[in-house]
């Protein structure tokens, strides 16, 4: 029987394998869930083993605010830095600007801290690459540089250096046209350049890796509810590495950092060019190849209405007459056959309450919740949905439909609470709160990134209770499957 350490290693290996199968954008949430499952074991040791198998550059990085006043560099806001394995000690992360450790938004006094030449190089590099990030990426970009000792015999000259850049991108003012317009695009760019630097000879060798998570609208119109293309992944290849050999005259520290900066800029531009040419260009051609024209809706004649079944067709050998507004129209044999087929497929019946209503998923280019007012043979009005085939006595509103669905799921918490949060969420992003928006809560484009860099689904954010969230997720999944099977 294996001892406890072997069991711990097996758990960590299985956790690392599980983490590798999840999309990189959900890496932080997945890692937190794995550590929660391992809470009865040594979570810190499990995390260390996971980090040995999963590179810290393969997942989204949290961005932490340093509350220390010494980091307010000519700004009224606190400095933000990237938290990674290069500056972590237990649950604390070292700020590269003030050289203090931060835990739960508080500065704590602990060791080890960077000193001597390591601190001098780190401070100078953070100042230089901070300006580089703001100039080439924008004010919302965060850049952090960390150094550490990697050669005890040459601790004052040879060191490890990690440059990490993270930029959150969102645009609403792009005027370009076409299927891949940048208007409404959003995403996250991360680039990491990790290597060894010898300041005595001016030599260095760096390996670059990139992480990208971007959502692009597939339509020219600015609409959050429209179809979107999601690109997410990380790249680490020997194609993206750079180095510098020893020279006769060693470089000064500022010149050495400037040389590294030029190589970083060239490498990032090279990766961006390959990304646009290969990935985005190929994806655009594939999207054009699989796109088809939307199908036109078939108009169905109004159905009859009885006491128990609104819109229910009743077979009759005599000609039927339907009153529509002030005019009258005779139904033909073709109309009767169409109604019989519709009746057999839909099997409509009068609902006893709203909990029995069923609302199948609609295509994204079809307007949902569109009800038309029709009349039966006796001139009684009712409402008929041409897309879903439903009939109701009263016309439902878009938001009432979602509330009725939530009330029918027997949730632990009040459905009105979730209903208000969902309405506020969709209105915040300028989206209509209707059935189509509700059914999109489990889609890949409904991913939110929190301030700490972690990502959650919109459904997790709106419904934090697992039991209630599971019921809503199952309902949406079954509705989508029923729609696809039709």
Residues 289-306 have pLDDT tens digits of: 665 544 443 333 444 434
Q: Are strands 88-89 and 203-217 parallel, antiparallel or unpaired?
A: unpaired
Which band of pLDDT confidence, cut at 50, 70 and 90, is reported for residue 318?
Answer: very low
- Length of the chain (residues): 486
Closest by alpha carbon to 347, among 375, 398, 388, 396? Answer: 388
**Ranges 48-52, 165-169, 187-191: which has the least confidence:** 48-52
Strands across the sheet with 142-149, in order? 142-149, 158-170, 186-198, 203-217, 228-244
Range with the poorest average pLDDT among 206-215, 350-359, 401-410, 452-461: 350-359
Reported confidence tier of residue 184, pLDDT bands at 50, 70, 90: low
At 334-368, the pLDDT tens digits run 444 545 444 444 443 334 443 333 333 333 333 33
47 contacts 34 by C-beta, under 8 angstroms: no
Please classify residue 138 by burial: count the beta carbons closer than 10 Å to its beta carbon, then call 0-12 exposed, 13-18 middle and 19+ buried: exposed
Q: What local confidence, expressed as pLDDT, does residue 196 receive? A: 94
For the chain, the helix, strand and coil percentages under 3-state DSSP, each to the nearest 5:
35, 20, 40
Q: What are phi and psi of 120, to 5 degrees?
A: -65, -45
Q: 241 by DSSP, 3-state: which?
A: strand
Maximum distance among all alpha carbons in the chain? 106
Residue 181: pLDDT above 80? no
In the predicted model, is pLDDT for residue 187 greater than 60? yes
% of residues, the chain, pLDDT over 90: 14
pLDDT at 444 over 90: no
The better pLDDT of the pair 270, 180 is held by 270
Q: Is the pLDDT of residue 314 over 50?
A: no
Mean pLDDT in residue range 367-388: 67
Q: What is the DSSP letter of 295?
A: P
pLDDT in tens, 110-155: 878 888 999 999 999 999 999 999 888 888 899 999 999 988 888 8
Q: Report the pLDDT averaged over residues 234-244.
A: 83
- Take residue 274 and report the two structure tokens written for it: 């390959």
Q: Does 13 score more than 50 pLDDT?
A: yes
pLDDT (average), residues 382-397: 65
What tokens were used for 331?
Answer: 């139904």
Among candidate residues 58, 7, 9, the one with its CA nearest the CA of residue 30: 58
Of the listed ranges 19-33, 123-137, 166-180, 287-301, the one predicted with least confidence: 287-301
**Predicted local distance difference test score (pLDDT) of residue 288:** 66
Q: What distances in angstroms separate CA 198 from CA 115, 207, 265, 343, one per listed residue?
A: 17, 15, 21, 80
Average pLDDT over every residue of 375-393: 70
């Amino acid at each position: 029987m294996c001892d406890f350490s072997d069991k711990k290693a097996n758990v960590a290996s299985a956790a690392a394998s599980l983490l590798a199968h999840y999309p990189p954008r959900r890496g932080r949430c997945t890692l937190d869930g794995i550590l929660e499952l391992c809470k009865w074991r040594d979570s810190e040791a499990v995390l260390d083993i996971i980090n040995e198998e999963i590179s810290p550059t393969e997942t989204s990085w949290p961005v932490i605010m340093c509350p220390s006043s010494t980091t307010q560099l000519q700004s009224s806001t606190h400095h933000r830095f990237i938290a990674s394995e290069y500056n972590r000690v237990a649950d604390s992360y070292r700020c590269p600007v003030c050289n203090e450790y931060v835990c739960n938004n508080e500065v704590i006094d602990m060791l080890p801290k960077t000193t001597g030449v390591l601190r001098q190089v780190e401070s100078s590099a953070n100042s230089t690459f901070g300006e580089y990030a703001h100039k080439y990426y924008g004010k919302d970009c965060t850049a952090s540089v960390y150094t550490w000792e990697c050669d005890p015999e040459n601790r004052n000259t040879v060191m490890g250096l990690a440059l990490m850049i993270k930029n959150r991108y969102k645009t609403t003012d792009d005027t370009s046209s076409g299927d891949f317009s940048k208007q409404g695009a959003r995403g996250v760019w991360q680039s990491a350049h990790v290597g060894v630097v010898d300041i005595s000879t001016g030599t260095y060798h760096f390996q670059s890796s990139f992480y990208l998570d971007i959502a692009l609208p597939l339509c020219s119109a600015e609409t959050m509810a429209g179809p979107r293309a999601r690109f997410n992944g990380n790249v680490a290849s020997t194609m993206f590495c750079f180095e510098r050999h020893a020279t006769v005259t060693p470089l000064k520290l500022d010149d050495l950092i400037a040389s590294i900066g030029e190589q970083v800029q060239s490498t990032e531009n090279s990766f961006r060019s390959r990304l646009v040419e290969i990935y985005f260009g190929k994806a655009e051609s594939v999207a054009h190849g699989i796109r088809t024209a939307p199908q036109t809706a078939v108009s169905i004649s109004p159905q009859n209405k009885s006491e128990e079944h609104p819109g229910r067709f009743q077979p009759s050998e005599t000609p039927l007459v339907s009153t529509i507004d002030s005019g009258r129209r005779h139904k033909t044999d073709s109309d009767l056959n169409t109604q019989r087929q519709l009746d057999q497929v839909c099997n409509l019946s009068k609902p006893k309450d709203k909990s029995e209503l069923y609302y199948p998923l609609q295509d994204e280019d079809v307007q949902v919740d569109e009800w038309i007012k029709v009349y039966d043979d006796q001139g009684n009005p009712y409402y008929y949905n041409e897309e879903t085939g439903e009939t109701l006595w009263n016309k439902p509103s878009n938001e009432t439909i979602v509330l009725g669905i939530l009330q029918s799921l027997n949730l632990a918490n009040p459905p009105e609470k979730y209903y208000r949060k969902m309405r506020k969420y969709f209105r915040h992003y300028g989206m209509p709160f209707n059935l189509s928006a509700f059914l999109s809560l489990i889609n890949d484009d409904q991913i939110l990134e929190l301030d700490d860099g972690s990502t959650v689904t919109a459904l997790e954010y709106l419904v934090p209770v697992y039991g209630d969230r599971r019921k809503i997720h199952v309902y949406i999944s079954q509705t989508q499957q029923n729609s696809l099977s039709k």
